[in-house]
């Protein structure tokens, strides 16, 4: 599918593009940002959810904050989520976070005022380094909603390829 020609379909708003990165093609270095990395903290769930909602504000239909909190609260009971969730802070400000599900970057979110400054690349590279630290994985993948034009452009600029696993 040529995602540059995508026209929003209200009957199916959740159409996604899969992106793939093979271990053999991963050569990124992490930028020199000074960010504090933290694990999931249930006490900060509202902060995470506000950022998640802001990052997905393009999305139709849009979730409300209560739904997002319920969604993330449900996730917090899953071992893979707790083990892989990483948040990144600049002083006391949440810059972004990601979580993994095996070799899949399940979510990657960067606060809007930190976008286009290299922080997304930092988080994505960090996520891929975490995935490829497990020798069982020959590739990593992620999904991006076709509604998310900025996300699609970012992942392509990063060097990810439209995915069908070889």
pLDDT digits (tens), the chain, 166 positions: 555 555 656 666 678 889 999 999 998 777 777 899 999 999 999 999 999 988 877 665 566 888 889 989 999 999 999 999 999 999 999 999 999 999 999 999 999 999 999 999 999 999 999 999 988 999 999 999 888 889 999 999 999 998 754 4
- Beta-bridged to residue 16, according to DSSP, are 145
pLDDT at 155: 95
The DSSP element (H or E) to which 55 belongs, if any, is: helix 45-55
User: Quick one: pLDDT at residue 29?
Assistant: 78
* Domains within the chain, CATH numbers bracketed: 3-162 (3.40.630.30)
Question: 104-110 and 161-162 as β-strands: parallel, antiparallel, unpaired?
Answer: unpaired
């Amino acid at each position: 599918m040529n995602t540059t020609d995508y026209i929003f379909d209200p009957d199916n708003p959740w159409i996604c593009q899969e992106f793939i990165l093979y271990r053999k093609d991963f050569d990124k270095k992490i930028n020199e940002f000074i960010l504090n990395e933290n694990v999931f903290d249930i006490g900060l769930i509202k902060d995470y959810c506000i950022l998640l909602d802001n990052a997905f504000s393009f999305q139709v239909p849009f979730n409300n904050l209560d739904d997002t909190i319920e969604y993330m609260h449900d996730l917090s009971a899953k071992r893979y989520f707790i083990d892989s969730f990483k948040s990144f802070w600049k002083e006391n400000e949440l810059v972004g976070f990601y979580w993994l599900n095996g070799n899949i970057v399940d979510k990657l979110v960067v606060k809007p005022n930190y976008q286009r400054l290299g922080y997304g690349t930092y988080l994505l590279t960090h996520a891929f380094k975490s995935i490829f630290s497990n020798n069982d994985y020959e590739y990593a993948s992620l999904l991006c909603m076709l509604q998310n034009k900025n996300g699609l452009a970012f992942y392509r600029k990063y060097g990810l390829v439209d995915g069908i696993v070889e």
